[in-house]
Amino acid sequence: MEQQLLEKLCVQACDLVKEVGLFIKKELGKVQMQEIEVKALNSLVSYVDKDAERQLVEGLAKLIEGATFLTEEETIEQTSGMYQWIIDPLDGTTNFLHQLPFFSISVALRYREEIVLGIVYEVNRGECFYAWKGGGAFLNDRPIQVTKTQELADSLIATGFPYYDYDSIKAYLAVLETLMQGTRGIRRLGSAALDLAYVACGRFDAYFEYSLNAWDVAAGIILVQEAGGVISDFQGQDDYLFGKQMVASNRELQADFLPLIRQNFYPMT
């Protein structure tokens, strides 16, 4: 896709995302206990997630005729095609329901199997992170880039604690033990999309997590890449969109960070 078209789509999609963000913010603190559904172990959803998703789908469908959708709440048929919007209408639902101000909207466009546009909108602070292929990454119209930190000892790391898949908990805790003793700190804030956006703008030096879904990370992938960072799965390969695991950092730090994760999760490889 041409950069001019991608930039135009990005501007239009950002406007839509901000409108939906106003709806989400307006509903903060209004959801009643009986209105909360448990989709799976520790996975919550409310009418806010579903209504926000419907608004996003309706608006995005107008931008590209015939585009398909992959969405968390499945308010529309899940199909693939040349153009596919990947949507998480409220990343950090548990934070939202507990009125913890760290949640976001994540929207990405996939074209011929490649993420070419991504938007992560932090609702409470009104921070809109966005990027399109070849165009760079931005936060509220200001260019952003990943850090230049080269040593783990100087780094601040983001992660997400497992909340339903505990098969790799020993490997995960082993990585945490090393990072606790060998970095400036670890943060678990509850929105993978924002974790990646924060890597892209230099607030975090690196991020890792497993048991991820495509809608959690799709927009963040291109944000980090266009901000000069690198993304991989835990084995250093490119199965990170649907592979349910991800490492993101600047290029220099990845050389030390990735082997630490790989040797704990895949000790025999």
- Write the pLDDT tens digit of every residue in 247-256: 999 999 999 9
Question: By the 8 A CB rule, do 88 and 105 touch?
Answer: yes
pLDDT > 90 fraction of the chain, expressed in percent and rounded: 86
Q: Are residues 119 and 164 in the same domain?
A: no
* pLDDT at 172 > cutoff 70: yes
pLDDT recorded at residue 179 = 97
What does the DSSP 8-state code read for residue 53?
Answer: H
Q: What CATH number does residue 216 fall under? A: 3.40.190.80
For residue 40, pLDDT beyond 70: no
- 3-state DSSP: the chain helix, strand, coil percent, rounded to 5? 40, 25, 35
Decide if pLDDT at 235 tops 90.
yes
Residues 137 and 209 in one domain: no
pTM: 0.95
| Count of structural domains within the chain | 2
Rg (CA), the chain: 18
227 touches 146 (CB < 8 A)? yes
Determine the Cα–Cα distance for residues 177 and 196; give it in Å rounded to an integer: 22
The confidence band for 185, taking pLDDT boundaries of 50, 70 and 90, is: very high
Please state, in angstroms and rounded to a whole number, the distance separating the CA atoms of residues 99 and 227. Answer: 30
Q: Which of 143, 170, 196 is the last residue of a domain?
A: 143
Give yes or no: residues 125 and 160 share one domain: no
The structure tokens listed for 212 are: 């991820």
In this structure, the answer to whether residues 77 and 204 fall within a common structural domain is no
Select from 92, 120, 143 the last residue of a domain: 143
Q: Is the pLDDT of residue 8 over 90?
A: yes
pLDDT of residue 188: 96
Averaged pLDDT score across all residues of the chain: 94
Q: Based on the domain organization, do 177 and 93 belong to the same domain?
A: no
Confidence of residue 269 (pLDDT cuts 50, 70, 90): low
- Does the pLDDT at position 42 exceed 70? no
Closest CA to 47 of 59, 31, 23: 31
- Say if strands 127-132 and 136-139 run parallel, antiparallel, or are unpaired: antiparallel
**Is pLDDT at 114 greater than 80 in this prediction?**
yes
Same domain, 137 and 165: no
Let me know whether 89 and 7 are in one domain. Answer: yes
The predicted-structure confidence for 128-171, as pLDDT tens digits, reads as follows 999 999 999 999 999 999 999 999 999 999 999 987 778 899 99
Q: Which domain holds residue 76?
A: 3-143
Please list the alpha-helical segments (H only) found in 115-265.
Answer: 169-182, 192-200, 214-226, 251-265
What are the Cα distances from residue 96, in Å, to 184, 214, 219? 28, 20, 20
HSE-up of 246 (CA within 13 Å, CB side)?
29
259 pLDDT more than 90: yes
Q: Are residues 19 and 59 in the same domain?
A: yes
Which tokens in the block code for residue 232?
A: 């991989």
Whether residues 174 and 65 fall in one domain? no
Q: Is 168 exposed, middle or buried (0-12, 13-18, 19+ CB in 10 A)?
A: middle
Which of 92, 109, 143 delimits the end of a domain? 143
Residues 11, 115 within the same domain: yes
Q: What is the average per-residue pLDDT within 44-65?
A: 94
Task: State whether 181 and 214 are in the same domain.
Answer: yes
Place of tokens 């548990």: 94
Per-residue pLDDT at 46 exceeds 70: yes
Query: What are 209-226's pLDDT values in tens digits?
Result: 999 999 999 999 999 999
Q: Are residues 249 and 205 in the same domain?
A: yes
Mean pLDDT, residues 107-132? 97
Can you give the pLDDT at residue 1?
A: 76
Sheet of strand 142-143: strand arrangement: 68-71, 83-91, 104-111, 114-122, 127-132, 136-139, 142-143
